Amino acid sequence: MSITPKDKKSKPAPRILTVKSAYHLTPNMIRVTFHGPEIASIPEGCEGANCKLFLPEANQTRADFEHQFDAGPRPTVRTYTVRHIRHDTHEMDIDFVDHGESGPASAWAINAKPGDFCGFAGPGQLKIAAFEADWYLLVADLSALPVVAATLEAMPKDATGVAFFEVTNAADRQEIDAPAGIVQHWLVHPDPHTASSQLTDVIQQMEWPSGQVQTCIAGESGVIKSLRQFLHVTKGIDRSQTYLSGYWKLGMIEDEHQQMKRAEAAAA
């Protein structure tokens, strides 16, 4: 049984999307809604899949960005998650963690207004292609909340399991249309610039249900490394049953983290 599909579907060509609205969904999460006919070619059921966003420079015109998007050099690119897609209204939501103006994607989202634009490529594969387990374990910090929330909302309504979320502020808790059998736990870590062992500790100490498990787990790389060791070695869970991914690393900017991940993948 595989977490991701064996057959990769062809992806739509990159395109430029237009902002319909942008607002703070919670104190530390910004929701940007895109709209327009370009949404029509994005596949149904892709909520939870990743995508690449190509960010324009400050004050760059759409015409200049379109030329750069086609001819190069490549704009700044970041990876995000398709949170919702509504083909009936040609709309798509993508959620951004508010890091202030320190990062290019956060700065773009903070300042986004109707009519703004960015490039889009994807979507990629779903993290769990088929829900076939006896129970599910889902874990996310704020950076991975969109992918885990979308995965929960795609589950069969009779699914059972547990989901752990670590957020910066109690007000960052979101309402998720999850199966009633998935018990949600929300933990607060007010300073994401310092290490946290909350998620690792609670998972290692939890009562482990019987039966086969599938996981969707993402967040800070140090936490993911510890959970990978616990799940694969201590619990003996087959890697095909687990999606575990480090979305960021404490003390590194994203470009450095992605370079590290590529080096680790090449050495594996």
The CATH number linked to 157 is: 3.40.50.80
Rounded to the nearest 10 degrees, the angle between the axes of helix 221-229 and helix 198-205 is 20
- The reply to whether 139 and 263 lie within a common domain is yes
Counting Cα atoms < 13 Å in the Cβ hemisphere of 123 gives 25
> Do 40 and 98 meet the contact criterion of CB atoms below 8 Å apart?
no
Q: If we measure between CA atoms, which residue out of 168, 48, 148, 147 comes closest to residue 100?
A: 168
Instruction: Give yes or no for a cis peptide into 37 (omega within 30° of 0).
Output: no
Same domain, 78 and 182: no
Among 107, 87, 12, 105, smallest CA distance to 44 is for: 87
For residues 33 and 86, membership in a common domain is answered with yes
Which of 121, 156, 180 lies at the terminal end of a domain, its last residue?
Answer: 121
- The pLDDT, as a whole number, for residue 6 is 39
Domain count, the chain: 2
Q: How does residue 14 score in pLDDT terms, banded at 50, 70 and 90?
A: confident
Contact criterion met (CB below 8 Å) for 105 and 247: no
> 167 and 114 share a domain?
no
Mean pLDDT, residues 43-67:
96
Residue 262, pLDDT > 90, answer: no
Residues 113 and 202 in one domain: no
Q: Quick one: 78 and 28 in the same domain?
A: yes
The per-residue pLDDT of the chain, averaged, comes to 92
Amino acid at position 181, single letter: G
108 in a structural domain:
yes
Residue 173: predicted pLDDT = 98
- Domain boundary residue, one of 121, 143, 163: 121
- With cut-offs at 50, 70 and 90, classify the pLDDT of residue 10: low
23 in a domain, yes or no? yes
**What residues pair up with 246 in beta bridges, in sequence order?**
219
Inform me whether the pLDDT recorded for 98 exceeds 70.
Answer: yes
Give the model's pLDDT for residue 70: 86
Mean pLDDT of 135-149: 99
Flag whether 3 is in a domain: no
The answer to the question of residue 193 being in a domain is yes
Q: Tell me the percentage of the chain whose pLDDT exceeds 70.
A: 89
Q: Do 80 and 153 reside in the same domain of the chain?
A: no
CA dihedral 95, 100, 105, 110 (to 10 degrees): 60
Lookup: tokens for 82: 């398709």
Quickly state the pLDDT bin for 5 (edges 50, 70, 90).
very low
For 162-213, the pLDDT digits (tens) are 999 999 999 999 999 999 999 999 999 999 999 999 999 999 999 999 999 9
Q: Which whole number is the average pLDDT over 5-21? A: 73
Q: Please check whether residue 34 is in contact with residue 92, taking contact to mean a CB–CB distance below 8 angstroms.
A: yes
Across the strands, what pairs with 89? none
Region 5-13: mean pLDDT is 52
Q: Are residues 183 and 263 in the same domain?
A: yes
* Same-domain status, 43 and 103: yes
Which pair of structure tokens corresponds to residue 1? 């049984």
Q: Are 113 and 33 contained in the same domain? A: yes
For residue 64, what pLDDT is reported?
A: 96
Closest CA to 77 of 88, 89, 67, 68: 68
Q: Name the residue range of residue 78's domain.
A: 15-121
The C-alpha atoms of residue 245 and residue 233 are separated, in whole angstroms, by 17
Q: Are residues 107 and 144 in the same domain?
A: no
Residue 220, pLDDT above cutoff 60: yes
Q: Using a CB cutoff of 8 Å and minimum separation of 24, what contacts does 183-192 make?
A: 189/141, 192/141, 192/142, 192/168
Would you state the pLDDT for residue 69?
85
Cα distances (angstroms) measured from residue 144 to each of 17, 63, 216: 23, 33, 10
Last residue of a domain, one of 62, 96, 121: 121
| Residue 110: CATH number of its domain | 2.40.30.10
> Do residues 143 and 255 both lie within one domain?
yes
Mean pLDDT across 218-224: 97
